[in-house]
A and B are shown apart, each in its own frame.
Chain A
């Protein structure tokens, strides 16, 4: 057994080695310059055993020669004490030895010379180590590396080496079969990885696997690369790298063709290998006709028993199952069996570890899962006679009478698929084409939902299942305008997407009362809000009062709620309900954590390293984002129209209550600036407009507000702008009356109407409102259609006393503020003052 360990470990050491090193190593792999000895791989070469053997001879000789040459070169370099060269050559030596896959049993001479060289190098290292102070820097470093590599490499077969030292004539005898089994995992992943990534990254272990297999299968590959012989002797890394690129330039095409051919071949062969392996001998696998249900089930068990083993490539499980399914189908073992395997495959795909954000691998996994889930549903619908068991009732029994037991819950897998898509979108760069591809899959998913619905109907499932399905569908519909839904999903004339969405929502309302219910309410609110159905939205909000209960639910639901709230505010704005828009958005926007509330990003400074991944988990995919600028702009506009007249009416008062703190802060910021530039962001525009409004200049105010570009995000841009214009006129009129009425004794309504381009009735209405709420000291004169301002001319004494009373008021307020904010540290203050 010790021999087995030996050979296997060489392989392992080799892998580590190639992982940690760079191009030079790979280069060596790719050029089998000298004829060497190559061991055939029986299990891969079932069909063309004959041809293989012919080639094998040539390669074998080549390899042996190569090895001998390297050994010679090492000896030469050692003699002239070129440590760095020895170091490089040592690496070469290992590669060449590996490449050759020498069978030490048959070629005892090679084994001997190899061990001898190894020992020689050790001696050389020891010698140089003694006198390392005399070496120059490059050599000293090389020596260090060499020593470490030598130790690392030989660590695993120390015993054999020792044995050789004592008795140079004895050689280890590795067992062929065992050796192969140990190496078996490597070829398996090549079909997957090679296909995904035609140009594998240089630092991975994939290239050598590929070349490895190239060498074992391709008869002509030795000719492909024999051109570059002597370069390795020089061992210069720079030159090797350069040549590496050159080579890839000239031969990449050929190589990729080869590898592609290889991939397809291997794909076909590999599962057979597995079957063969499991059936103790290559011959059993060839007779496909002998496959019975029982045997397939056994195979399945075997493959599944690999699950969870760290040493296995995760995709192996999936691929094995896929192959098994194909075989069983070929052998016509019944649809139930195929379906059973289909479930197994899906579960295996979902069991694959999420891995790094390697989107290529992830998307392949996704495509596979999409394909198989769809296949599963198709099968289920085509064969209603197949009975489905949702749980593992008894794992021992796998057939019920003659039938194969099919286990699985289609609904659950579709849900998993749905989550999977969400995760993928979360982790994919939204600028990439992949992202768009994934968004396109939405349509496939829609088809799957339809299939699932048919299936659920066919088995007359519980309302609960339909609720889950409806919520999933809503999840994909709620953020889309109804025109888009119509164009993509409900192309039929008779279908009305609004009705469909509402019906789905109502179905959930009736059949669920927990999270699903709350979710679907929120979905409906969002959907109706973006589709501008204000009355319906209001109805739903009032009927279900989610605002009262949403706090009890998960963070995800709360985020959804925040998003719906934002859209609700925007919808109210579009309908001219500015104060509702203001109040709705106030909570979202007030603490400047809007992005966090909407799960569209977060401020990394506000979170520590533990919170960050949690926050990341909630971040929504880009296509779901709501324009933050739009929300801000809407809010600022609503705040402006509320706040500016209010400020004007309270200008003379000392005590001011703020409606919108955010808006005030912005105004103050602008006042602080020495030079006020032209507006830049939409926020600036609104603030600048607010100033114009205070001056009573509605035209400029209007221009500024309407010039903000975010309004173009509205489908109803024109109506919104018209609405805004009217509101600005009205508000400016109000502000104007507060600010400038004292300068008049009477104003005619018609002149005001001209000035603000409003109908006289509107002016009359606004003035009347102000009079009736005592905000304006005036009254109307009906016969002359004018406003009479009641200005009170106070005498000097009265003016002064009013001022005094105001000052008193201010003083009290200041005292109050002090007591509130400074927490009253009066004793200390006094003491500090004295010192």
Chain B
């Protein structure tokens, strides 16, 4: 290929692709499409030789030159190529941006639903490389779960694609949901899983289901034991092993607290996979953080959680809270209607007077 680095500099100055295209065409005397096509081939060659750096370079060139008239199919596959290079070169910031672009292009594409689904599957698989290496990655995964809840079509479609073709990937979503700073993510994910009857035998998903859906603590603890192994040995998850342990134990405790008012420390410790002393420490920590109003009965080795039902005045407040808003909406509606009727009444006053 004949393009020098100087010209590459030029393109980086942000000229319009069409303009640049014409300039190059005039100077080099090359036909438009063949030139870009060569670039595409060259990038592919570089990629296959393992020279990802230059492949990425060439692809950047390619994207600058490929305008809207260019064969979109090649543009799309070049997109995948770019993503691959970025992942391999560990440029995860760029890759994250690229992922979004790629997803849009899949959604926009004109293939049949079945083909689109295959592409989406690939997308999710590749995206894991990025998500579990980028610091915002887990949030992004959680966002997809949240999106599906809010009836965002794309996210729903994505999740149902995963359900259909690769339900094992729910493991990563489960971890993302568990580690998410937003509290209700796990419930949302599980809601999707139960609503849509996702069939998966992943221990992490099963652990969450046992804990949040069936409240079967013994089973959850058994699954948790398996999860520790799984997380440690999973390519993507091994990095967040510590975080996972912490979050899982917290989740168990949290669920105990919401449901029970009196638990034996022994059982708690068993379910959390810790010693009784450690479990006691956890509780103490919780109480100190003011997350919990509870007392530990050391003699019986019980934790007694004090729970108050919402006070009556609170109930009343809840009930009357929206009255004002509703009344004002109603008032506005009536007023609007009334004015309309007035206008009409002037036109057809005879009609009204017959009453």
- A residues sitting closer than 8 Å to B (CB atoms) are 509, 513, 535, 538-539, 542-545, 548-549, 577, 579-580, 761, 764-765, 768-769, 771-772, 777, 779-784, 788, 790, 792, 794, 798, 801-802, 805-806, 808-809, 812, 815-816, 819, 823-828, 831-832, 835
Contact = CB atoms under 8 A, between A and B. Distances in A.
B259 A542 contact: no
Nearest to B257: A779
B213 A769 contact: yes
Nearest to A795: B312
B214 interface: yes
A547 to B, nearest CB: 11
24 contacts: A539-B164, A542-B161, A549-B113, A577-B197, A765-B214, A768-B214, A768-B259, A771-B258, A777-B309, A780-B259, A780-B261, A783-B262, A788-B261, A790-B308, A805-B319, A812-B330, A823-B337, A825-B341, A826-B338, A827-B345, A827-B352, A828-B352, A832-B355, A835-B355
A493 to B, nearest CB: 31
Interface stretch (B40-48, B57-65, B123-131, B320-328): B320-328
B323 A812 contact: yes
Contact of B327 (A544, A794, A812): A812
A544 B163 CA distance: 14
Cβ-closest 4 pairs across A and B: A768-B215, A779-B261, A542-B164, A824-B337
Interface string B56-86: 0000000000000000000000000000000
B312 A794 contact: yes
Main secondary structure of the interface of A (DSSP, over half): helix
Given A782-B263, A783-B262, A825-B341, A543 B164 contact: yes
A524 to B, nearest CB: 13
Given A777-B309, A779-B260, A827-B345, A812 B326 contact: yes
Contacts of A765: 214-216
Interface residues on B, range: 35 or more
Interface in B305-343: 305, 307-309, 312-313, 315-316, 319-320, 323, 326-327, 330, 333-334, 337-338, 341-342
B255 interface: yes
Contacts of A826: 334, 337-338, 341
B316 A802 contact: yes
Interface in B278-328: 300, 302, 305, 307-309, 312-313, 315-316, 319-320, 323, 326-327
Contacts of B161: 542
A587 B247 CA distance: 42
Contacts of B330: 812, 815-816, 819
Contacts, number: 121
A809 B319 contact: yes
A772 B259 contact: yes
Given A764-B215, A779-B307, A808 B341 contact: no
Given A579-B195, A788-B261, A815-B330, 18 more contacts: A542-B164, A544-B113, A545-B113, A768-B214, A769-B215, A772-B215, A779-B261, A779-B305, A783-B262, A805-B319, A805-B320, A809-B323, A819-B333, A819-B337, A824-B333, A824-B338, A827-B352, A831-B355
Interface string B21-40: 00000000000000000000
Contact of B113 (A548, A577, A790): A548
Contacts of B326: 812, 816
Nearest to B313: A798
A790 B337 contact: no
A543 B113 CA distance: 7
A771 B259 CA distance: 6
Contacts of A825: 341
A577 B302 CA distance: 40
B267 interface: yes
Nearest to B305: A779
A827 B340 CA distance: 11
Contacts of A538: 164, 197
A827 B341 contact: yes
Contacts of B6: none
B264 interface: yes
B49 interface: no
Nearest to A535: B199
B97 interface: no
B312 A782 contact: no
Nearest to B161: A542
A783 B114 contact: no
B114 A544 contact: yes
B164 A801 contact: no
Nearest to B351: A828
Contact of B352 (A782, A805, A831): A831
A781 B261 contact: yes
B298 to A, nearest CB: 15
A772 B197 CA distance: 21
Contacts of B315: 802
Contacts of B334: 819, 824, 826
Given A543-B117, A782-B262, A808 B323 contact: yes
B354 to A, nearest CB: 10
Given A509-B114, A823-B337, A782 B213 contact: no
Interface string B236-263: 0000000000000000000100111111
Contacts of A831: 352, 355
B17 interface: no
B54 interface: no
B316 A801 contact: yes
A788 to B, nearest CB: 6
| Most A Cβ at <10 Å: residue of B259, B326, B333 | B259
Contacts of B197: 538, 577, 580
A743 to B, nearest CB: 16
Contacts of A548: 113
A835 to B, nearest CB: 7
B112 interface: yes
Nearest to A788: B261
A828 B345 CA distance: 10
Contacts of A794: 312
B251 to A, nearest CB: 12
B92 to A, nearest CB: 31
A768 B220 CA distance: 14
Contacts of B307: 779, 790
Nearest to B344: A827
A509 B115 CA distance: 11
Given A543-B113, A782-B267, A805-B320, A790 B309 contact: yes
A804 B336 CA distance: 30
B305 to A, nearest CB: 7
A274 to B, nearest CB: 56
B312 A798 contact: yes
Contacts of B333: 819, 824
A794 B312 CA distance: 7
